[in-house]
């Protein structure tokens, strides 16, 4: 029944609501419009936001990146912060569900009032918020996704900058290696039919490595791999594929290896795009299926992959040494075991600190976007490749070295001395990179300008 | 689920339509003096406009000078779905979900309220031109009767957006502030084109006998019955999908039969190409379980529920509109289906769409399917419906549901964009001359959000579509009392100050009113079409 107006029994709530109206009326005129101050920046603090799967099936491995980033920021804060401001990292768990990515982005922007987003993880998730983040002019820095579509058209996403090399660049470089090394083999691929897989296939094709649909190219829909990839592996086996490229996330690589084992399919070589070959993730997923670490390590051994940074097992690398020490002292996360995810988290923290330092004391959103875009050469990091940021692209690392996992799950270079290869996300050639990484300072803080 | 209720409605509709006699028209008569009574401190006056439509005023003893004039939304052309109202249906904003209004609260606040029956006799349907003049008449009568009125708020819901906007442009002195709740932009053509696309896409993927909007436009009962026939075809599809969740493979078109693409992927694609929200009253687009194994399947059920709940009103409104444009107002010869799929949606809902290969396959067959060629004159009339200049300077406050199933939230974004274009041009002109008062931005868009998650599952693991739905942000004209009252209060203050509230105030208010967004920069997904 609909209410009928009556003044005979005014409730306490209604009286309160009248009072609220009056208060509201005052507030209309008494409260000035929002000032021009930069959100998330005060005299003493810079608030940064990050989204990633901390829980759920997609979380293994990735859920260590945020703790590593925070550890590096805590280290910076212990040294006085950046231009006198401490860095606060607010992290939201989206469980790799895009709906939660949307709502948690809103919370970071409107409730936590972050200055910038940094290091967010995931392609399918980030694609759900990238347009809105850019529309609002919020810096979207060092995204942990290799999808080239986020970076290669800066007019479309002017505030977004990558934190990984693109899948296309990596696939082109791996493609060159495949052409040169496995010309006598039958090379096939299993890939997820989305942005990630599409980038991979495009990159390989540019390098001259192509596949026949339904024969040497097996596909699956991202998100269905938990049910196994038996049919895909059977298809590749039936077509005598003996070198399998994997253009998919680590859970899919683990599923492919499991399924291949199950049907007695033993390809001579697995070649996996780096995010799919993360050892921690691979072993965690197989561990959840009851496969012992020693067995999963043996399954990974011999796999070819690539990296833009030193391998976490390179004990003598100066960045590895410094980051490892900071991780030991400052990482308060539940799993601080040193691995590729921790190294990447530390590296993004280092990169972000560089960007904040370089932008200067007068920190604004347009200011940091402009600085990152125009000063890629000054933004050093642990990577063995320079950053590609500029007016034409916001891609991060344009170089990768190729390695092979050993029995201890360490990626070791296939060349000696290690060669780093570079290319672009378009049709440019793959060439050897001559790059000398700037040294890390004794205090492990970036020095800019 | 509402579909079962809808089927009953359709049966009633069919029977009722047959007994509709030829159009009843009444010769205009002079407006009668209203009859007034007073009870519990409120004077209630009822009267008739010159054309016989009823109006009603309620004036509290503690009247503080602001009078609200309410404009209700769409009522179908032919009685049957709902009874023909005898008098004023809504005196103040009323939730379609709970039936609750804010009349009592408005009386206590000292506001006067007025409303009229915009559905009188032959004037039901998309009758905006009539209602602009009827609204003026209501205000004239109120002003004559109550000289104490200092400020006038013109506010309304849904279709009212297509009445109020041209109204305040034509009669600028008849309003001091303007409120549009879940309203059209005012042009309905952009939204209706997407609605017609839904029929078309379903005809390609699910039922080739569907003619959709091409069946609309014949005047009178025959046209009405033709549109109901199309509605029944869609309801049959949705009913089947509500039982099997669209799991079977596509049977249509022949090129995709046996492809393994489930019907639900085509349903989700239909929703994404047409802008149907991926949250509904019971589906949050996020929650999963063993049956709804991935968020995009949750979103697919949301599309199903939204289309099911909106299709009857959409069809009846479409038929009503087509009676003024003429048949064959729908033309999709220039539609680029691939361009209608947002890149973010393709990525976010990739699994629900069955991956890139399935997306390409479905878009490919849509692109190759025979197009609908409209009648040039009808198409032109259609695109010219409800045009507005957006030059009104009144403080205007829009109130929108995050996931409105009928008038998509993108209508609000379009309204704000249009207003901003005019404002920025005027500002640039002023900057150049520095003459006269500096233009001010005087439009505020408020959005009520859904909770983050709210889907519930039955013991069998299926989505529970029968229990209480989300408390906010879904449905159509389903704002909570607190949200509505907050909007009304802002309109009252804006009428006095001549300005919309500050973003800081909205941010503050969002901490007091559950699910009211304090994000002044929030922007919903855009409408798929912009006919200018």
Mean pLDDT of the A388-414 span: 96
User: How far is A121 from A127, CA to CA, in rounded Å?
Assistant: 11
Cβ-Cβ contacts under 8 Å, A224 against chain B: 351
Per-residue pLDDT at A380: 85
What are the DSSP calls for B261-302, one per residue? -BHHHHHHHHHHHHT--S--SS--SS---SSS-SHHHHHHHH
The CA distance from A91 to the nearest CA of chain B, in Å, is 17
**Would the CB atoms of B505 and A28 count as touching at under 8 Å?**
yes
Partner residue opposite B94 with nearest CB, options A2, A17, A193: A2
Report the DSSP beta bridge partners of residue A28: none
* Dihedral of alpha carbons B353, B358, B359, B363, sign: negative
Residues A31 and B504: beta-carbon distance below 8 Å: yes
Residue to substitute from A10, A21, A23, interface B, most B β-carbons within 10 A: A21
Per-residue pLDDT at B8: 40
**Would the CB atoms of B497 and A130 count as touching at under 8 Å?**
no
Per-residue pLDDT at B532: 83
Question: Which domains are delineated in chain A?
Answer: 45-165+311-398 (3.40.50.2300), 168-307 (3.40.50.2300)
Per-residue pLDDT at A11: 38
Q: How many beta-carbon contacts under 8 Å exist across A and B?
A: 158
**Would the CB atoms of A24 and B58 count as touching at under 8 Å?**
no
Residues B274 and A203: beta-carbon distance below 8 Å: no
Give residues 210 to 249 of A whose Cβ lies within 8 Å of B: 219-224
Judge whether A131 is closer than 8 Å to chain B, CB to CB: yes
Quick one: tokens of B47? 């009267």
pLDDT band at A48 (very low <50, low <70, confident <90, very high): very high
Q: Which CATH architecture has domain B35-186+389-510?
A: 3-Layer(aba) Sandwich (3.40)
Q: Which residue of A has its CA nearest to B357?
A: A193
Cβ-Cβ contacts under 8 Å, A28 against chain B: 490, 493-494, 497, 499, 501-502, 505
* A87-A108-A57-A305 Cα dihedral, nearest 10 degrees: -50
User: How far is A398 from A166, CA to CA, in rounded Å?
Assistant: 8
Eight-class DSSP state of A246: E
Quick one: tokens of B69? 């004039």
**Would the CB atoms of A99 and B285 count as touching at under 8 Å?**
yes
- Neighbour-count burial for B77-103, b at 16+ CB within 10 Å, e otherwise: bbbbbeeebeebbbbbbbbebeebbbb
Quick one: tokens of A109? 């922007």
CA nearest to A302, candidates A256, A339, A266: A266
Task: Tell me what percent of chain B is helix, strand and coil, each rounded to the nearest 5.
Answer: 45, 10, 45
User: How far is B303 from B310, CA to CA, in rounded Å?
Assistant: 10
Residues B449 and B473: beta-carbon distance below 8 Å: yes
**Would the CB atoms of B284 and A6 count as touching at under 8 Å?**
no
User: How far is B397 from B493, CA to CA, in rounded Å?
Assistant: 11
Residues B335 and B531: beta-carbon distance below 8 Å: no
Collapsed DSSP state (helix, strand, coil) of residue A163: coil
Instruction: Compute the radius of gyration of chain A from its Cα atoms.
Output: 24
Judge whether A135 is closer than 8 Å to chain B, CB to CB: yes
User: How far is B249 from B257, CA to CA, in rounded Å?
Assistant: 7
**Would the CB atoms of B350 and A131 count as touching at under 8 Å?**
no
The CA distance from A152 to the nearest CA of chain B, in Å, is 15
pLDDT tens string B323-369: 999 999 999 999 999 999 999 999 999 999 999 999 999 999 999 99
Give residues 429 to 458 of B whose Cβ lies within 8 Å of A: 452-453
Judge whether B351 is closer than 8 Å to chain A, CB to CB: yes
Per-residue pLDDT at B219: 87
**Would the CB atoms of B497 and A28 count as touching at under 8 Å?**
yes
Eight-class DSSP state of B362: H
Spacing of C-alpha B394 from chain mean position:
22
- Long-range contacts from B429-437, C-beta under 8 angstroms, 24+ separation: none
**Would the CB atoms of A14 and B497 count as touching at under 8 Å?**
no
Quick one: tokens of A336? 């601080």
Over 90: is that where the pLDDT of A236 sits? yes
Eight-class DSSP state of A284: H
Residues B419 and B388: beta-carbon distance below 8 Å: no
Quick one: tokens of B519? 């994000």
Mean pLDDT of the A360-375 span: 97
Per the listing, tokens 């932009």 go with B185
Judge whether B9 is closer than 8 Å to chain A, CB to CB: no
CA dist A285 → A252, A255, A291, A333 (Å):
10, 9, 9, 20
User: How far is A151 from A376, CA to CA, in rounded Å?
Assistant: 14
Let me know if B46 is exposed, middle or buried by CB neighbors in 10 A (0-12, 13-18, 19+).
middle
**Would the CB atoms of B105 and A17 count as touching at under 8 Å?**
yes
Task: Tell me what percent of chain A is helix, strand and coil, each rounded to the nearest 5.
Answer: 40, 15, 45
Ranges of residues in chain B with a pLDDT under 70 are 1-32, 79-86, 121-122
- β-strands B54-60, B112-116 pairing: antiparallel
What rounded mean pLDDT belongs to chain A? 91
User: How far is A104 from A93, CA to CA, in rounded Å?
Assistant: 8
Q: CB neighbours of A181 closer than 8 A, spacing ≥ 6? A: none
Report the DSSP beta bridge partners of residue A86: A45
User: How far is A359 from B149, CA to CA, in rounded Å?
Assistant: 57
Partner residue opposite B502 with nearest CB, options A32, A98, A125: A32
**Would the CB atoms of A221 and B109 count as touching at under 8 Å?**
no
- β-strands B396-401, B443-448 pairing: parallel
Report the DSSP beta bridge partners of residue B285: none
User: How far is A318 from A311, CA to CA, in rounded Å?
Assistant: 12
CA nearest to B271, candidates B371, B182, B348: B348
Per-residue pLDDT at A36: 55
**Would the CB atoms of B356 and A193 count as touching at under 8 Å?**
yes
* Dihedral of alpha carbons B148, B152, B153, B156, sign: positive
Torsions phi, psi for B166 (to 5 deg) = -65, -30
CA nearest to A190, candidates A240, A146, A145, A252: A252
pLDDT band at A30 (very low <50, low <70, confident <90, very high): very low
Spacing of C-alpha B100 from chain mean position:
19
Mean pLDDT of the A293-317 span: 96
Cβ-Cβ contacts under 8 Å, A136 against chain B: 521
Residue to substitute from A1, A2, A5, interface B, most B β-carbons within 10 A: A5
Partner residue opposite A7 with nearest CB, options B107, B288, B294: B107
Q: What is the pTM assigned to this prediction?
A: 0.90
* A222-A225-A229-A231 Cα dihedral, nearest 10 degrees: -60
CB atoms within 10 A of CB A167: 29
Collapsed DSSP state (helix, strand, coil) of residue A160: strand
**Would the CB atoms of B355 and A24 count as touching at under 8 Å?**
no
Cβ-Cβ contacts under 8 Å, A148 against chain B: none
Cβ-Cβ contacts under 8 Å, B517 against chain A: 110
**Would the CB atoms of A24 and B497 count as touching at under 8 Å?**
no
Judge whether B519 is closer than 8 Å to chain A, CB to CB: yes
Residues A215 and A246: beta-carbon distance below 8 Å: no
Q: Which uninterrupted H or E stretch holds A253?
A: helix A250-263
B181: left (phi over 0), alpha (psi -120 to 50) or beta: beta
- Return the domain boundaries, chain B: 35-186+389-510, 189-382
Cis peptide before A294 (omega within 30 of 0): no
Per-residue pLDDT at A449: 61
User: How far is B360 from B341, CA to CA, in rounded Å?
Assistant: 11
Residue to substitute from A1, A2, A13, interface B, most B β-carbons within 10 A: A2
Cβ-Cβ contacts under 8 Å, B61 against chain A: 7
Partner residue opposite B42 with nearest CB, options A5, A34, A97: A5
Give residues 1 to 30 of A whose Cβ lies within 8 Å of B: 1-8, 10, 14-15, 17-18, 20-21, 24-25, 27-29
**Would the CB atoms of B351 and A222 count as touching at under 8 Å?**
yes
Q: What is the ipTM of this complex?
A: 0.89
Per-residue pLDDT at A32: 34
What are the DSSP calls for B442-510, one per residue? -EEEEEEPPPS----B-TTSSB--SS---SSSEESS---HHHHHHHHHHHHHHHHHSSPPPHHHHHHHH
Judge whether B348 is closer than 8 Å to chain A, CB to CB: yes
User: How far is A403 from A296, CA to CA, in rounded Å?
Assistant: 18
Q: Which residue of B has its CA nearest to A18?
A: B109
**Would the CB atoms of A3 and B103 count as touching at under 8 Å?**
yes
**Would the CB atoms of B104 and A3 count as touching at under 8 Å?**
yes
CA dist B477 → B390, B407, B472, B523 (Å):
23, 9, 10, 19
CA dist A226 → A9, A223, B216 (Å):
61, 7, 47
**Would the CB atoms of B494 and A28 count as touching at under 8 Å?**
yes
């Amino acid at each position: 029944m609909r209410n009928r107006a009556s003044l005979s029994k005014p409730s306490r709530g209604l009286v309160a609501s009248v009072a609220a109206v009056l208060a509201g009326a005052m507030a209309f005129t008494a409260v000035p419009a929002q000032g021009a101050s930069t959100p998330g920046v005060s005299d003493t603090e810079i608030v940064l936001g990050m989204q990633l799967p901390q829980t759920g099936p997609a979380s293994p491995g990735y859920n260590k990146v945020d703790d590593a980033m925070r550890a590096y920021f805590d280290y910076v804060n212990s040294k006085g912060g950046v231009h006198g401001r401490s860095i606060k990292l607010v992290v939201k768990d989206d469980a790799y569900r895009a709906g939660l990515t949307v709502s948690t982005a809103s919370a970071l922007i409107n409730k936590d009032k972050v200055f910038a987003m940094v290091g967010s993880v995931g392609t399918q998730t980030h694609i759900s918020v990238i347009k809105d983040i850019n529309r609002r002019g919020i810096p979207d820095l060092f995204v942990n996704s290799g999808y080239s579509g986020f970076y290669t058209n800066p007019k479309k996403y002017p505030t977004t900058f990558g934190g990984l090399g693109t899948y296309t660049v990596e696939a082109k470089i791996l493609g060159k290696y495949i052409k040169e090394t496995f010309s006598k083999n039958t090379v096939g691929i299993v890939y997820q039919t989305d942005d990630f897989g599409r980038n991979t296939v495009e990159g390989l094709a540019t390098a001259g490595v192509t596949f026949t649909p339904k024969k040497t190219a097996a596909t699956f829909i991202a998100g269905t791999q938990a049910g196994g990839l038996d049919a895909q592996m059977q298809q590749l086996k039936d077509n005598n594929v003996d070198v399998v490229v994997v253009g998919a996330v680590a859970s899919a690589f683990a599923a492919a290896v499991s399924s291949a084992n199950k049907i007695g399919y033993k390809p001579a070589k697995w070649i996996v795009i780096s995010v799919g070959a993360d050892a921690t993730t691979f072993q965690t997923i197989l561990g959840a299926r009851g496969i012992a670490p020693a067995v999963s390590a043996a399954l990974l051994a011999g796999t070819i992959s690539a990296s833009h940074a030193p391998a976490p097992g390179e004990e003598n690398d100066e960045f590895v040494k410094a980051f490892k020490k900071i991780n030991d002292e400052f990482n308060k996360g539940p799993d601080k075991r040193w691995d590729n995810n921790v190294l990447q988290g530390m590296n993004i923290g280092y990169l972000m600190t560089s960007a904040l330092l370089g932008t200067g004391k007068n920190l604004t959103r347009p200011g940091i976007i402009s600085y990152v875009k125009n000063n890629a050469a000054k933004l050093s990091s642990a990577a063995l490749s320079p950053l590609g940021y500029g007016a034409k692209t916001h891609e991060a690392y344009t170089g990768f070295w190729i390695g092979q996992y050993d029995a201890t799950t360490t990626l070791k270079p296939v060349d000696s001395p290690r060669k780093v290869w570079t290319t672009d996300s378009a049709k440019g050639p793959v060439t050897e990179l001559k790059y000398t990484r700037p040294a890390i300072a004794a205090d492990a803080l970036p020095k800019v300008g | 689920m509402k579909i079962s209720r809808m089927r009953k409605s359709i049966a009633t509709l069919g029977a009722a339509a047959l007994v509709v006699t030829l159009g009843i028209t009444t010769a205009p008569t002079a407006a009668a003096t209203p009859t007034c009574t007073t009870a519990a401190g409120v004077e209630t006056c009822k009267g008739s406009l010159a054309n016989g439509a009823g109006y009603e005023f309620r004036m509290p003893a503690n009247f503080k000078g602001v009078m609200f004039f309410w404009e209700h939304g769409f009522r179908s052309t032919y009685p049957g779905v709902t009874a023909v109202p005898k008098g004023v249906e809504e005196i103040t904003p009323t939730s379609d979900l709970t039936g609750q209004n804010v009349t009592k609260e408005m009386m206590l606040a000292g506001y006067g309220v007025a409303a009229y029956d915009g559905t009188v006799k032959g004037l039901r349907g998309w009758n905006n031109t009539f209602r602009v003049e009827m609204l003026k008449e209501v205000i004239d009568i109120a002003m004559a009767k109550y000289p104490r009125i200092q400020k006038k708020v013109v506010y309304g819901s849904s279709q009212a957006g297509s009445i109020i906007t041209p109204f305040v442009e034509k009669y600028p002195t008849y309003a001091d502030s303007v409120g549009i709740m879940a309203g059209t932009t005012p042009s309905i053509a952009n939204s209706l084109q997407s609605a017609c696309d839904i029929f078309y896409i379903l005809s390609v993927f699910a039922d080739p006998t569907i003619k959709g909007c091409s069946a609309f436009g014949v005047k009178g009962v025959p046209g009405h019955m033709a549109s109901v026939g199309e509605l029944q075809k869609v309801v049959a599809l949705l009913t089947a999908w509500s039982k099997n969740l669209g799991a079977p493979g596509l049977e249509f078109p022949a090129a995709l039969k046996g492809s393994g693409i489930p019907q639900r992927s085509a349903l989700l694609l239909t929703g994404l190409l047409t802008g149907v929200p991926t949250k509904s009253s019971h589906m949050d687009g996020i929650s999963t379980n063993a049956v709804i194994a991935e968020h995009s399947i949750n979103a697919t059920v949301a599309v199903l529920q939204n289309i099911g709940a909106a299709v009857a009103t959409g069809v009846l409104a479409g038929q009503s509109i087509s009676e003024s444009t003429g048949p064959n107002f729908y033309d999709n010869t220039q539609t680029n289906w691939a361009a209608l799929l947002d890149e973010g949606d393709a990525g976010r809902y990739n699994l629900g769409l069955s991956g890139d290969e399935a997306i390409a396959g479905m878009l490919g067959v849509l692109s190759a399917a025979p197009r609908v060629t409209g009648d040039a004159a009808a198409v032109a009339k259609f695109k010219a419906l409800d045009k507005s200049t957006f030059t009104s300077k009144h403080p205007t406050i829009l109130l929108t549901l995050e996931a409105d199933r009928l008038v998509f939230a993108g209508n609000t974004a379009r309204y704000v964009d249009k207003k901003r274009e005019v404002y920025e041009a005027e500002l640039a002109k002023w900057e150049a001359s520095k003459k006269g008062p500096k233009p001010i931005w005087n439009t505020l868009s408020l959005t009520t959000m859904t909770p983050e998650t709210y889907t519930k599952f039955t013991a069998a693991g299926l989505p529970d579509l029968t229990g209480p739905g989300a408390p906010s942000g879904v449905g159509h004209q389903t704002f909570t009392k607190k949200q509505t009252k907050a909007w009304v209060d802002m309109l009252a203050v804006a009428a006095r100050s001549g300005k919309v509230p500050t973003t800081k105030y909205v941010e503050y208010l969002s901490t007091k009113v559950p699910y009211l967004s304090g994000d002044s920069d929030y922007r919903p997904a855009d409408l798929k079409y912009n006919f200018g």
